[in-house]
Amino acid sequence: MIDVKQLVKSYQMGETPVLALRGVDFSIKANEFVAIMGPSGSGKSTLMNIIGCLDKPSSGSYQLNGHEVSSLDDDALSAVRNKEIGFVFQSFHLLPRLTALQNVLLPMRFAEQENDSEAYAQTLLARVGLLERQGHRPNQLSGGQRQRVAIARALVNRPTILLADEPTGALDSKTSVEIMELFTELHQAGQTIILVTHEEEVAAYAQRVIRMRDGDIVQIDQRGEDAA
């Protein structure tokens, strides 16, 4: 599904080039649950942005579902994002004036997928346990409920990959467990999940943990499928 070879990303800070990624290599198979960990400045967010087609590498290869995407232009990357990738963020990114149902429907509107869209969005809200809240706006929902809406929205275009960037960072410990159990259920149903976190408790839900430091992968921990 994902095959990354010698991936390099450099930025220019004044006259000084900064290497955010230093020739990273790894693969992720379909239906895997992988966590990416590392301290601030390790390169994990840069790597997540490239995997999510939000940024392009300076050099190296990134193949997604058998297609090279590292050299695509912005329009082509946007098309890949809409079709292949669902995003879940720490701060939810829900539109405050829209209801839960309307927020979930947004990606389908952008992708111009109208057939049975509302019924499918309601199915996803039911899947995350929020169908009865479909008419509520974000300010009428708890943090955990908002994240559940965000997860339903991320799934609405049937992505092959779900990317989650610190999805429990704004939640209390009890709600964090509930959200991670939901991710586990999605994974067990066949969803590929890549999660960026700095919390060992969150990473423990994944099958594999990719640990980064200074733009390099320094360790990959293999865990059992039941290591939750």
Q: Are 95 and 103 in contact (CB under 8 A)?
A: yes
Residue with tokens 């701060």: 91
Residue with tokens 């995997």: 51
Closest residue by Cα to residue 58 from 12, 1, 2, 26: 12
Is pLDDT at 226 greater than 80 in this prediction? Answer: no
- pTM for this one? 0.91
- What does the alpha-carbon distance between residue 131 and residue 121 come to, in Å, rounded to a whole number? 9
Is pLDDT at 101 greater than 50 in this prediction? Answer: yes
pLDDT tens digits, 66-78: 999 998 999 999 9
**Dihedral of alpha carbons 124, 127, 132, 138, sign:** negative
Torsions phi, psi for 132 (to 5 deg): -70, -10
Is pLDDT at 164 greater than 50 in this prediction? Answer: yes
Residue 228 belongs to what H/E stretch?
Answer: none
- For residues 193-212, give the mean pLDDT: 95
- What does the alpha-carbon distance between residue 180 and residue 176 come to, in Å, rounded to a whole number? 6
The pair of three-digit structure tokens given for residue 185, joined into one six-digit string: 């259920």
Q: How high does pLDDT run on average in the chain?
A: 92
- What does the alpha-carbon distance between residue 189 and residue 87 come to, in Å, rounded to a whole number? 18
Q: Are 96 and 139 in contact (CB under 8 A)?
A: yes
Residue 128's pLDDT is 96
pLDDT band at 228 (very low <50, low <70, confident <90, very high): very low
The pair of three-digit structure tokens given for residue 5, joined into one six-digit string: 């070879």
Q: Are 183 and 164 in contact (CB under 8 A)?
A: yes
- What does the alpha-carbon distance between residue 19 and residue 21 come to, in Å, rounded to a whole number? 6
pLDDT band at 38 (very low <50, low <70, confident <90, very high): very high
